[in-house]
Every structure is written in C-alpha cells, then in structure tokens.
Amino acid sequence: MTSADIAAVYPEIIVTAVALIVLVADAILDRRRAALALPLLVIAGLIVALASVFYQVPATQYFRGFVTIDAFTSFFRGVFIILAIFAAAISPAYLARRGVPAGEYYAIICFSTVGAMTIALSADLITLFIGLETMTIPIYVLAGIQRTDRFANEAAIKYFLLGAFSSALLLYGFVWLYGITKATDFVTIAAFLTQQGIANGPTIVALALVTVGLGFKAAIVPFHQWTPDAYDGAPTPATAFMSVGPKAAAFAAILRVLLVALGPLVVDWSAVLAILAAVTMTGGNIVALAQTNTKRMLAYSSIAHTGYILAAVAAAKAGPSAGAAVLFYVFAYGLMNLGAFACLLYFDLEGTRGASLDELNGFGRRQPLGALAFAIFLISLTGIPPTIGFVAKFLVIQPVLDAGLAWLAVVIALNAVLAAFYYLRVVVRMYMYDVEEKEPRLVSGRTLSVSLGVASFAVIVLGILPNSIYEWALRAAQPLVR
C-alpha cells in the first residue's frame, strides 16, 4: 500500500471519517445542540468529500489491481455524495419528531455511501462484493431504525432476508466465474471470456446467477417483491434515500460486472435484459396505478424507473451513448425520486403512514411552495419537458433505438403514458380538490424546504441546460467501452 493508493481513495476516507466524527459528536453533545450540529456537520463533511472527488489522481489501478479510479468512479462518487447530502438535509425535523437516534442515522447514511462508492471504484469481484455489503447492511439497520414501529420491523426483516438471499446468489455466481476463469479481477475475466468465445454451460450458469443477484439489488421484476414493503415500512426520509442510493449503486455494480467483466457475453445477456426491462417498467407501472397510498405508489414507480434504466443497459451495444444514458438517468432519477419521497414528509402527521391520496387534497393551498416542488418532481418523473426527467428519457430512447430495439422504445413511450396517469392523479389531488374542513396542520422543516427548493430548481435548470451533466456522463461511460 503506497501513498498513491491512499491518495486515490481520499473521498472514501473522508466520508468514513465524517461517519465516525458524527458518532463521537453525538456522544459528546447534549440533545438540543446535537439536533442542529449533527446535520450541519454531516453536510459540511460531505461537501468536503464532494470537493475531494474532483481531486485528480491518475486514472489507473491501485491497491494491486483491486481498485480502479477513472471517470466512471468519479461520476458515481459525486452522485452518491450529492444524494447523501440531500438525504441528510431533509431529515432533521423528522428525526426530532419521531425520536429517531440522529447520530446513528447520519452515520448509517455515511457508511452506506462509503459502500456505494466502493462499488464504483471496484476493479475486482471481491472489492465489488465488499462494497455491496458495506452499502446494504447499514440500509437494513436504517429500515428498522424505528424499533417500536412494527411496520418498520417488518420492513427491516423482509429487506434483510431477501437481501441476504440475493447476496448469496450473487456470491455463488462470482464463485462460478472464478471457477471458470481462475480470476476475480474484471480485466482478466473479460480477457478469458473473449478468448473462450461462445458461452458454454458453466458460463451461462454464472451469468444467470450474477444477473439474478444483481436483479434483486436493483429491484428488477420479478425480483422486486421486497421493495414496496421495505420502502413503505421504513421511515420516510430513509425511504427517500433507500430508493435512490442503493439503486444507483446497484446500477454501478451492473455496469461494472456486465459491461466490463462480462462484456464479451453481451449478446447473451442483452436480449434477456431487454425483456426484463420491458417487464419491469410495465409491471411497476401497472401496480403503481392501483395504489392509493402515495408512498407505495412511489415505491412501485421506482421499480418502473429501474426498467427504463435497464433498457439503456440492454442497449449496451450502441456504445458509449448507452452507458451515458444509464449514468444520466441514474443522476436524474436520484434527484427527482428523492425529492418526491421527501415531499411526503410534509404529511408526516401523528398516526399516519405515508400519505393516502385523500390526505393530499388541497396541498396546493395548504403549502403552496411544497406542492409546487412536488408537482415539479412528479412532472419530471413523468418525463414532460422542460425537466431533467424528460432529457433522461430522451437519452435512454436513443441507444435503445440505436441497438435495434425499436419495440422496447415503443414500450418505454407507452409506459410513460401509464405513469403519467398516476403521477398526474397526485397533481389533481393537490390542486384540483378543495380542502376539507379542519385539515390537520402540515409539518414543515426549514432544511426540508430549502433542500426541496434547491432540488426542484435543479430539476428544471438541468432540464433546460443538461449539457454539462451529459458530457460528464459521457466521459464517465468511456471506461465501460472497449
């Protein structure tokens, strides 16, 4: 381990340090002061980490080939840290209200972020698996952090059991890969598979196991059953984070494993992924249509968005534009989905879980700016310009058509119409239904409002001027193409 190795992972070190400092500060500071100091500390620390992402180190391998630093790594590091900052900013009021231990909460988010960042820099199956587990285990805790809430307990145990199951499958797949190729690093695996040529029986088994394992992590239909319950049961700010951070990390893993290590088998997996993508978006949307609880509706809609992203992965043979579309969509999805879930925090009233559609009635009057932000996120999720969600859809359709999957592009378009139906139903409730008598007062936290304001503004501005993000994504997708 040289000093160059250490310099390569500065961002991860900083985020870990932030997590540790938070735990110590939580122990030292008294309750009142901690409520204000902890989130500030986390956000400041994460901003430092974000700055360190742009500290350039030579794009090569470190730690004897276990770690690779390239534009792809930087992109995902940036995305994970931004999402963690956002998640930390929306939480304080909720944590105080519900008596959730704040120190642990923020530390868990940081630890999980370190795990996600480790996935992004992995050059080896082992690093990747460690990153995946470091990311997921804190999330199991996060889901059940409200120990006295039985729904949270159910969410945590479900998430944990299925997560453990899928990790085992994934690991088993990795073992098969190792058995076939005698290597665990992506480059050697890819070289071996290229030499081997056509996929044979064992390779197919390994590929299937890996796909199913990663499919669980990303919540691809039919491996999605844990998602709605876990998202629904977890505390709302945690749900907001869970729905984007781990999802983005899962796609980082999918890109690294499928495109880089298993790239030579692209013909074998891309057709399967295309079908899975169509099933995932359609399934997610159809079930979301039937939901009356907004939190569950957003949970299912996040499955649908997984399908759109997966469609771009399936179009990998279109070249860098496919990878760039995945990265851009992951970024856009993170911003708008986290924002949409965070808007539900306004409805965090005594004795309610999530927000039923009825509770949303007249939101536009009761909390005009909060409702406006929610409407912007929902319109972006629908894919209507001028929002970042529209640009993301445009960018996804492009490689899909380029790869000759015209049917999938049409499926995407029709699904967006389905999705419009339930997203706009929320807007209808907010603006077109009158407020009932003696509505309960809405909750609002200052940091929540500020971060929602920034995020909804970003959704619009980046929808009109997406060039910088797209170019960043395009650069980041280069290492995936060989």
Asked if 314 and 258 touch (Cβ cutoff 8 Å), the reply is: no
In terms of Cα–Cα distance, which of 335, 339, 314 is closest to 325?
A: 314
Omega prior to 222 cis, within 30 of 0? yes
Q: Does 409 help bind other proteins (rule: CB under 8 A)? A: yes
Residues 348-387: x where in contact with other proteins by CB under 8 A, - otherwise, as a string: -------------------------------x--xxxxx-
Query: Cα–Cα distance between 132 and 167 in angstroms, integer?
Result: 9
In terms of Cα–Cα distance, which of 413, 419, 133 is closest to 300?
A: 419
Q: Does 267 help bind other proteins (rule: CB under 8 A)? A: no
Query: Cα–Cα distance between 358 and 344 in angstroms, integer?
Result: 13
Query: Cα–Cα distance between 163 and 158 in angstroms, integer?
Result: 8
Select from 53, 397, 405, 458 the one that contacts other proteins (CB under 8 A). Answer: 397
Q: Does 36 help bind other proteins (rule: CB under 8 A)? A: no
* 185 SS3 class: strand
Q: Does 289 help bind other proteins (rule: CB under 8 A)? A: no
CA 163 to chain centre: 16
Select from 219, 416, 452, 477 the one that contacts other proteins (CB under 8 A). Answer: 416
In angstroms, what is the minimal distance from the CB of 254 to other proteins?
23
Residue (111 or 377) nearer to other proteins, CB: 377
In angstroms, what is the minimal distance from the CB of 465 to other proteins?
8
In terms of Cα–Cα distance, which of 383, 353, 450 is closest to 88?
A: 450
The amino acid at 139: I
Residue (208 or 424) nearer to other proteins, CB: 424
DSSP E strands, 173-226:
none
Alpha helices (H) along 433-466: 446-464
Provide the CB-side half-sphere exposure for 403 (13 A, CA): 28
In terms of Cα–Cα distance, which of 330, 342, 412, 326 is closest to 376?
A: 342
Residue (210 or 462) nearer to other proteins, CB: 462
Range 417-476, binding other proteins (CB under 8 A): 417, 420-421, 424-425, 427-428, 431-432, 466-467, 470-471, 474
In angstroms, what is the minimal distance from the CB of 286 to other proteins?
15
Query: Cα–Cα distance between 163 and 117 in angstroms, integer?
Result: 19
Select from 17, 37, 205, 401 the one that contacts other proteins (CB under 8 A). Answer: 401
Paired with 293 in beta bridges are 356
Select from 412, 448, 458, 480 the one that contacts other proteins (CB under 8 A). Answer: 412
Select from 186, 390, 452, 459 the one that contacts other proteins (CB under 8 A). Answer: 390
Q: Does 21 help bind other proteins (rule: CB under 8 A)? A: no
Residue (62 or 423) nearer to other proteins, CB: 423
Residue (231 or 390) nearer to other proteins, CB: 390
Q: How many residues bind other proteins (CB under 8 A)?
A: 34
Window of 78-86, 288-296, 341-349, 407-415 that interacts with other proteins by CB under 8 A? 407-415
**In this structure, what token pair is assigned to residue 370?**
């909060």
Range 307-346, binding other proteins (CB under 8 A): none
**In this structure, what token pair is assigned to residue 39?**
């989130």
DSSP structure class, residue 243 = T
In angstroms, what is the minimal distance from the CB of 319 to other proteins?
10
* 151 SS3 class: helix
In angstroms, what is the minimal distance from the CB of 342 to other proteins?
22
Q: Does 414 help bind other proteins (rule: CB under 8 A)? A: yes
Q: Does 410 help bind other proteins (rule: CB under 8 A)? A: yes
DSSP structure class, residue 444 = -
Contacts with other proteins, residue ranges (CB under 8 A): 379, 382-386, 390, 393-394, 397-398, 401-402, 406, 409-410, 412-414, 416-417, 420-421, 424-425, 427-428, 431-432, 466-467, 470-471, 474
